[in-house]
Chains A and B, each alone.
Chain A
Amino acid sequence: MDNELLQEISLNLQRGKAKVVKELVQQALDAGIAPETILREGMLDGMNIIGEKFKNNEVYVPEVLVAARAMNMGTQVLKPALEASGVKATGKACIGTVQGDLHDIGKNLVKMMLEGKGLEVIDLGTDVSPETFVQTAIDENCQLICLSALLTTTMDVMGDVVKKAEEAGIRDKVKIMIGGAPVDQAFCDKIGADVYTPDAASAADAAVELCRAMCE
């Protein structure tokens, strides 16, 4: 019965049925299923499947957006119970679109995917200065700074963030991830960032690996 309910949560999350997911999560809690089990075997299971399908071009941005919305609605119901049971986040990241750039779809997708992997994410929004990224990482003890840019005219700001992190002496404590239309691995290497990923799902996988490695 528990498994069936968790499967239903996973399936409806994959279909992006936000209201249904919300109801099912409440049902699962009422049925006495542990919040962490609901999170991992229901919602994260669904997000992982969507993430894999996205990487393989089996689903596209809309399916990811609606799944992420369902995840968020489910999390709203689950969060108090998770906090009460002492479940900790997999890691902590701050994310934003770099200064001069107001595009946020890619950034939001990555944020949703990171949350879908159990990371705590501080969303700094768009047009974020290098100083804000670095100061947030220091103040909030983030393991990751995630940078997004859509424009060829703003991608160079990513390099400024790397420099600011070096100047602040936090490069050994924080990993810097980059993504967005104009950037690639060569650009990542050039500016000295740690990880480039081509899509939101890969970014979430890489983020989890980085956090795991940094905790060891």
Chain B
Amino acid sequence: MTNRERGLNILHFKDVDRLPAVHFGYWPELLTEWAAQGKIPAELAVGNYDGSDKERELDKLIGWDFNWFHVTGYVQSLYPAFETRLLETLPDGSQRVQNSFGVIERVKPGVTSIPSEDDYLLKDREAFETLYKPRMQYAPERVDTAYYSKFNDLRPWDVPVGLHMGSLLGDIRNITTVKGMSYLLYDEDEELFADIVDTYAEMQYKCTKKILETGAKFDYAHYWEDICFKNGPLLSPAKFDELCAKHYRKRNELCHEYGIDIISLDCDGVIDKLIPTWVHTGVNTMFPLEVGVWGDQFEPARRQFGNEALGIGGMDKTALRRDKAAVDAEIERLKRLVALGGFIPCPDHRLMPGTKYELVQYYAEEIKKIRL
């Protein structure tokens, strides 16, 4: 069986010879670390991204079958994006930078973290109409139709490949910041926020349709949201449903028309309260099912939604920083979830610095021994 067949069969509750060893990529710092330790060739630590040739070479070295996150899409965000520019260098060496979303960030050279947000531009209707709305429209430049018309000859057929459809709220949260989103939604202009979501969603629908109309074949469609954290969603589930459900439904129906029945969504954090909106609108595959300090999220979803809830992820990647016993314990825990069907174990996010190379090899080897 190919890894594509293994992956898709599991998600369709069909037989497979074994579990595939699936991962979700690496923090660049980890690859640098492994190269410095002499575990991997230095050239594999640079330019190694999801689905790249270098990643496939590294997969072979480690023993992985493939990176699940093998997707392609369109220009999903603002078009044209804001020009990234340095506004100011502060006395402590940090820099105030306007990023491609128009958000003013504080960046500290040498600190490997997401920058903090100082300010943002999308605060009112005027900013939306003049600065943002024109950048949220469909444009032919957003979709590389020439590429998609040859896509079926170019794409790999031995691994599942997905169509990335963008995000309904994740990108908008990046544009307004969490604070700005909160102020607009609950104090200043809820109608404006809904208009932003509608405008953005309509553009994404058109781009998705344009790609599908080329005849390009995908094994799944995919969203990214990242709208949850440790204590649950960043906004109330009711509000999320009110803003997003209709758009998910419309886009997912489009996918169904083109024969795509696996629709996955990437959201970190505790996602349980948003799963109802996703499942009811046709999103059926949760990814990467972060385990964090809160534990398994897949089994409760399966209990609630039956086979409508599929999962990829759910493997506590921190075990790969500890020892063999921790990895063994994690594999034992995962076996129970695998037995439920419709679930493919995968580290619950990018592997981070401090992850032990030999433990990753060991995990990849052991996970392939699991029979369904």
Identify the A interface with B (CB < 8 A): 15-18, 57, 59-63, 65-66, 69, 100-106, 126-127, 150-154, 180-184, 198-199
Q: When the two chains form the complex, which single residue of B111, B112, B178, B231 contacts A199, counting CB atoms closer than 8 Å?
A: B231
**Contacting residues, chain A, for B353 (C-beta < 8 A):** 153
Q: Which of B46-54, B179-187, B306-314 contacts A (4 or more CB under 8 A)?
A: B179-187
Q: When the two chains form the complex, which single residue of A126, A154, A180 contacts B116, counting CB atoms closer than 8 Å?
A: A126
**Contacting residues, chain B, for A63 (C-beta < 8 A):** 182, 186, 236
Nearest CB in chain B to that of A64: its residue: B182
Chain B nearest CB, measured from A54 CB (Å): 8
| Cβ B181 vs Cβ A183 within 8 A | no
Chain A nearest CB, measured from B324 CB (Å): 20
Is there a chain A Cβ closer than 8 Å to B230's Cβ? yes
A-B pairs with lowest CB-CB distance, top 7: A62-B182, A184-B293, A65-B182, A102-B113, A181-B230, A102-B116, A66-B186
| Cβ B116 vs Cβ A104 within 8 A | yes
Nearest CB in chain B to that of A154: its residue: B113
| Cβ A183 vs Cβ B178 within 8 A | no
**Contacting residues, chain A, for B229 (C-beta < 8 A):** 61, 106, 181
| Cβ B179 vs Cβ A65 within 8 A | yes
B113, B114, B269, B273 interface centre (most CB from chain A within 10 Å): B113
Contacts A105-B178, A153-B354; A61 near B235 (Cβ below 8 A): yes
| Cβ A103 vs Cβ B116 within 8 A | yes
| Cβ B182 vs Cβ A182 within 8 A | no
Identify the B interface with A (CB < 8 A): 94, 106, 108, 111-116, 178-179, 181-183, 185-187, 229-236, 269, 273, 292-293, 318, 352-354
| Cβ B187 vs Cβ A100 within 8 A | no
Determine chain A's interface SS by DSSP, over half rule.
Answer: loop
| Cβ B111 vs Cβ A183 within 8 A | no
Q: How far is the CA of A62 from the CA of B292 in the complex (A)?
A: 23
Q: How far is the CA of A60 from the CA of B235 in the complex (A)?
A: 5
Contacts between the two chains (Cβ within 8 Å), count: 89
Q: How far is the CA of A177 from the CA of B72 in the complex (A)?
A: 44
Chain A nearest CB, measured from B112 CB (Å): 7
Q: How far is the CA of A104 from the CA of B105 in the complex (A)?
A: 12
**Contacting residues, chain B, for A18 (C-beta < 8 A):** 187
Q: How far is the CA of A60 from the CA of B186 in the complex (A)?
A: 11
Q: How far is the CA of A180 from the CA of B269 in the complex (A)?
A: 12
Q: How far is the CA of A126 from the CA of B116 in the complex (A)?
A: 8
| Cβ A198 vs Cβ B182 within 8 A | no
**Contacting residues, chain B, for A151 (C-beta < 8 A):** 113
| Cβ B111 vs Cβ A57 within 8 A | no
Q: When the two chains form the complex, which single residue of A62, A152, A181 contacts B352, counting CB atoms closer than 8 Å?
A: A152
Contacts A16-B187, A153-B352; A61 near B182 (Cβ below 8 A): yes
| Cβ A62 vs Cβ B234 within 8 A | yes
| Cβ A17 vs Cβ B187 within 8 A | yes
| Cβ A127 vs Cβ B186 within 8 A | no
**Contacting residues, chain B, for A16 (C-beta < 8 A):** 182, 186-187
Nearest CB in chain A to that of B29: its residue: A153
Q: When the two chains form the complex, which single residue of B106, B187, B233 contacts A102, counting CB atoms closer than 8 Å?
A: B106
Supply 9 A–B pairs (Cβ within 8 Å), ascending by A.
Answer: A60-B235, A60-B236, A61-B235, A66-B186, A102-B116, A104-B116, A152-B318, A180-B230, A199-B231
8 more A-B residue pairs beyond the given contacts A100-B111, A151-B113, A153-B352, with a C-beta to C-beta distance below 8 A: A60-B235, A61-B178, A61-B235, A62-B182, A102-B116, A106-B229, A152-B352, A181-B269
**Contacting residues, chain A, for B113 (C-beta < 8 A):** 100-103, 127, 150-151, 154
| Cβ B234 vs Cβ A60 within 8 A | yes
Contacts A62-B182, A62-B186, A152-B352; A181 near B108 (Cβ below 8 A): no
